[in-house]
Structure 1
Amino acid sequence: MSASSLISRVRRVSPSALISRVPYPSAAARTAIGIATVATQAGIGVTGSIVRVTDSGLACPTWPQCQPGAMLPYENPEYPMLNQWIEFGNRLLTIIVILVAGIALITAWRIRQAHPERRRPVVLGWTIVAGVAAQGGIGALTVMWDLVWWMVATHFLASTVLVWLAVLLAHAFHEGDEPARFHLGARGRALLVSLGVAIAVVLVSGTVLTGAGPHAGDPDTERLDAPIDVVAGVHAAALGVFLLVLIAIGLQAARGGASAGFRRRYAVVWALALAQSVLGVVQYRLGVPEPLVSLHVLGSFAVLIATASLWCAGRDRGDAPQPPSRAAMADANRAVASGPA
């Protein structure tokens, strides 16, 4: 076989050539994939909290195996079977997270094949895939280092970054790639940036509070030696700043320039933030019961997703290009199949 024919065959089976055979994603498919990406990135964080509050974090003491020499849980007097399956089940969910992230990347790649100018969805897709891979390493280190509190916090915070990126990708599937134009002007943009910083502080202070709290993931794990009342006060103050910035955004929106979609998402952020505040107070007063901890983690992701969606609604990147015609797609596919990968 000649070198030229070999190169030709390799090109025909290159990733770009294979993806070119995937149908161009419809608006409904893009919406479903975007939602699935957000849901899986947040869901793995919620199930991780269940691992923590059930003291299952070290029920599978090795990684990626559950027990030394065995991939699956088995009867062990030191680690109850239920706790092993809770921890191992959380690991299995990672497969779904990876699968969905891969589908999202393929979707973004397929869109760019039809619209070469559309770089942003592909960049976001690759960043999420890389982040999921990094999360696997962080999870392994978390187990190897016996659930030390700051490693658990890092694991959770990495999930929050991936959730924010997933929201951006879900919106990028339906918008253009023009430079962002903020509806509320420079002041509105500054307030939205401040809101993002505020929720980051809320999340970081929340992980510190968790590190000082009673739920470590394993009864023998050392906790952060910090006064709970003080850390809880810092966390509450951070939430107060978040709400103050939210009020300022509402006043700015009332002056005009806010779309109906922005106003709806603004109301959703308020509703979720207030519900999360009440839940946090109840959780604290009741001594941090396990079910409320996981519910609070779910609420934190809900507020984060709503805030990221508000950010996206606050700016305009133009309309997404129309799907190409069948003839144009056929020409593009032939170009991909015959050109360099």
Structure 2
Amino acid sequence: MPKTLNPLQLVADRWQPSARFVQRAAFACVVMAVIIVVTGGAVRLTQSGLGCPTWPTCTEDSLTPTPEMGINGVIEFTNRMLTYVLCAVVGLAITAARARAPRRRSLTRLGWAQFWLVASNGIIGGITVLTGLNPYIVASHFLAATALLTVAVVMWRRASEGDEEPRDLVARPVRQLGWVLVVATALLIVIGTVVTGSGKHAGDAKKDVHRIPLDVREITQLHVDLVCVVLGLVVALWFVLRAVKAPAGTHRGVVELFGVLMLQGTIGFVQYVNDSPELLVGTHMLGSCLVWIAVLRVFLSLRDRGELHASVPAPSGGHDTLQPAAASSR
């Protein structure tokens, strides 16, 4: 019986990417995940949410936007096409991770998790259009994109470290404080989607789009309160890490997170007092991604999984030997 050929195995037999290439492919996934969030926000902020009034085609009779649909149809359709670019980047990361020797199943699983998140979020995006920009579906669309960003960041981190069992670099209570920071930031992002769903930018000016029936000022105040909680946790974590003499890299990550949070808070304040101008709202969405990336990086820096190893063919025999990768690959 002929042996079943796996296309990824065929690639692995003919191509051996470097550790740096795999890391860059994983980082490209992070960049594309951020771009998808920002361009999705641009669709809403330019009132192009129903630029293509149906899905998966743009109209019932056309796959692409027609001239009568104007710039809104072009913006919405372009955002849909970016999904294919994202799929290509994720596909490259999966292929590079699979072709890299020694094979790291944990890395390829993270790549496939991104693929299925992209596919599922594409369906959620279609439901968003078919339901006339229902704010709850819009919020779930954003949160699914944030989940994609989460997996992309984890894959990026895992691509630069080994496969040993995780070893805490700090005491367990400090690690738990890191968990609390992650949960609080996640809640902050969720409440941010509620603020958006009850606010002024519904996504389409030609249709009476349903909004979440909450007082936008009250829900915004809750959002601000959570910002204060997250800032407090970041400051507390910084002091604790200094007290326990944690690695310098972890300290640096907390300082970077604090800086991003302060910048994001400033943008949010200016946005609020100026009645949410579109450009600032879009910038705030970008800031949301950067805050989440910084939080994840801090949390992941609290543990270590050993050195990344490179595969080097042995002088004789058919087996690979493992040795630590160059520091530039870390």
Q: TM-score of the superposition, structure 2-length normalised?
A: 0.92
Preserved contact between residue 22 and residue 97 of structure 2 (Cα < 8 Å): no
Choose from 75, 81, 84 the match for 1:86. Answer: 75
Q: Sequence identity of aligned pairs in percent?
A: 35
Of 293, 298, 309, the match for 1:321: 309
Report 1:65-214 matches (<5 A): 65-76=57-68, 79=69, 81-111=70-100, 114-116=101-103, 118-214=104-200
The answer to whether the 8 Å contact 1:60/1:84 transfers is yes
Q: In the TM superposition, what is the alpha-carbon distance from 1:327 to its structure 2 partner?
A: 6.8
Shift of 1:319: 1.1
Please tell me whether the aligned partners of residues 262 and 314 of structure 1 are also in contact (alpha carbons under 8 angstroms).
yes
How large is the RMSD of aligned CA atoms in angstroms? 1.8
What corresponds to 1:308 in structure 2?
A: 296
Matched positions, count: 318
CA positional deviation for 1:56: 0.1
Quote how far apart the aligned CAs of 1:97 are.
0.6
- Tell me which amino acid in the other structure corresponds to 2:87: I
- Segments of 5+ residues of structure 2 without an aligned counterpart are 321-330
Q: Deviations over 1:296-328 (max 9, x none)?
A: 000000111111111222210111222232779
**Offset of residue 44 of structure 1:** 0.3
Tell me the CA shift for residue 88 of structure 1: 0.6
Aligned counterparts of 2:240 and 2:41: Cα–Cα separation in 1 = 37
Post-superposition Cα deviations, 1:140-193, rounded to whole Å, max 9, x if no partner, equal 111111110010000001111111110110111111122222212101110111
CA contact (8 A) 2:90 2:115 kept: yes
Match of 2:55 in 1: 63
Q: What's the counterpart of residue 264 of structure 2?
A: 276
Distance 1:142 1:34, change over 3 A: same
Structure 1 counterpart of 2:35, one-letter code: G
C-alpha distance 328-189 of structure 1, shift in aligned 2 (>3 A): farther
Give the structure, 1 or 2, with the largest relative contact order (CA under 8 Å, sep 6 or more): 1
**TM-aligned CA deviation for residue 329 of structure 1:** 11
Please report how far the alpha carbon of residue 108 of structure 1 lies from its aligned counterpart in structure 2 after TM superposition: 2.0
> Taking structure 1 as reference, are residues 23 and 64 closer, same or farther at Cα in structure 2, changes over 3 Å only?
same
State whether residues 183 and 257 of structure 1, in contact with CA within 8 Å, keep that contact through their aligned partners in structure 2: no
Letter in 1 for 2:220: A
